Chain A
Amino acid sequence: MSVPRTWRNRRALYSLEGSKCQKCGKYYFPGRTRCLDCNTSGLENHNFSGTGKVATYSWVYTPPKGFNNRIPYCLAIVELDEGPKLTTQLVAVEEGDVEIGMPVEFSFRKISSEGDEGVITYGFKFRPKNYPNHLKKK
């Protein structure tokens, strides 16, 4: 993973910052400056609430480089309460625990690493909503 890439995406990765169109109300994750629906420019930043539900998921047995810490891991598309979808990993779940429609919430985690001495990327994963003994998103 590239350091500049992770750095410039840090707000989206670390705190689910996206953007919202003041005119038509549409939300975007990751954020962007122009609304694709109504063409309004200068969209404002929006911090997503971090809750949503599972739209679809898979248990990945053959990971790409940097993602082989835990096999299998659960990859999912989560639909945020505000509307946008994102691809993410689900944590604090075992095979058989996950269902489409299941409520989930933001969880700050390690995403990938480049061996023992390489760059570690942190960012969002999602866990079952109201999962105990974890800090809530602020």
Chain B
Amino acid sequence: MKEIAVVGVGNTKIGEWYDISLRELTDEAISKAIQSANIDPKEIGGTFVGSMSSGIFNQQEHLAALVGPHSGINAPAVRVENACASGGSALRVAMMAINAGFYDTALVVGVEKMTDLIDIGDVTTALGTAADGEWELGVGATFPALYALIMRAHMHKYGSTLEEFASVSVKNHKNGSLNPDAQFRKVVTMETVMNSRMIAEPVRLFDCSPVSDGAAAVILTAKDGAKKYTDDPIYIKGSGAGTDHIALHMRESLTSMQATKRAAETAFKMAKITPKDIDFIEVHDCFTVAEVITLEDLGFCKVGKGGKFSLDGETALNSTISVNPSGGLKSKGHPVGATGIYQVIEIFHQLRNEAGKRQVSKNDIGVTQNIGGSGASCVINVFSRGA
């Protein structure tokens, strides 16, 4: 792969923005990204939009045509959908286009505007479309319930505890309290998490990421031209993706994600790194158990010990490995299709020492892990400052 640089980023704060439309969200993110890269919009060769479910959330498809031109960018545009991994997947498609020689520079936008649906049952059903419609959603599954099935299986197989899972939420809220763009900037206690409302037992409200609105944009360019836009580009050193059966019950394991393992294998090999080389990582903690399993699948700890690793504080800011310094999906928020791009933006700021109070001290190599569905899709990217 030809090396690609991120030369500009921009995003909205994440929240419930009832007074802001989808196109206003993307316009804010794109405007900031253009300013950040100090780029003439005419230099953008292609636009790639990641969004999961604007058709259901906003009765709006054809986002590629809505988003670019509204912000004055008339480059050919396309939307990429891979459930909650839509953002990360859009980034990869943009990388492929640059590598194939179609464009030198690309704009990648992730967006989800979820609060146009008022009834929470409608939101639950919309998110459920990332699962198997006929054989999961159609028989009564919800997204929290699918992750509850994973969590229960993990607890049964490895003896992991509710306290261990709760520690993920507490840690991410603590990090998020330091992030001015986060939806929830509030420290929470173990008691708050463990006594919160039951959603799908054993998953409680504070095991779940929230319903969020947000847009995030990054500008990618081939390595050779990167310094034209910024003195401090960051580089994508490795990229990998994995795909598995959409239905959890069809997969080899209930307690491990093959998609994550496959994505990591490709990305780490390309970047010539091992898990030990990673200083910090943004992982897809849509539910606390997802972060726990990811720690195991990526080899940061022993299989079955991800929860204990978290409870022991090994994943706290500037501990053994800083996991989700941004606050993760739990605290920062989870506008589903935008999440993969928000993760890249966190890495961008951390690598450039721009992350303020949540700045990690060891920041040579940062990684993103973006899951789609209950683990059927995964995108992993490795970043560093050095070209």
Contact = CB atoms under 8 A, between A and B. Distances in A.
A79 to B, nearest CB: 9
B140 A85 contact: no
Contacts, number: 105
Contacts of B197: 61
B247 interface: yes
B45 to A, nearest CB: 40
Given A5-B134, A59-B200, A63-B124, A87 B153 contact: no
Interface in A1-48: 1, 5, 9, 30
Nearest to A75: B145
A9 B86 CA distance: 30
A112 B254 contact: no
Given A58-B148, A58-B202, A100-B152, A64 B254 contact: no
B101 interface: no
B139 A64 contact: no
Nearest to A72: B201
B200 A64 contact: no
**Contact-residue size bin, chain B (C-beta under 8 Å from the other chain):** 35 or more
Contacts of B249: 55, 77, 85-87
B153 A61 contact: no
A58 B203 contact: yes
Interface string A127-138: 000000000000
Contact of A64 (B121, B134, B152, B199): B121
Contacts of A64: 121, 124-125, 128, 137, 140, 142
A10 B197 CA distance: 37
B128 A62 contact: no
Contacts of B122: 65
A87 B203 contact: no
B135 A60 contact: no
B216 to A, nearest CB: 28
A57 interface: yes
Contacts of B201: 58-61, 72, 95
A60 B200 contact: yes
B250 A85 contact: yes
B42 interface: no
Contacts of A68: 121
Contact of A75 (B124, B140, B198, B199): B140
B150 interface: yes
A68 to B, nearest CB: 8
Nearest to A89: B140
Interface of B: 120-122, 124-125, 128, 132, 134-142, 144-145, 148-150, 152-153, 156, 197-203, 247-250, 254
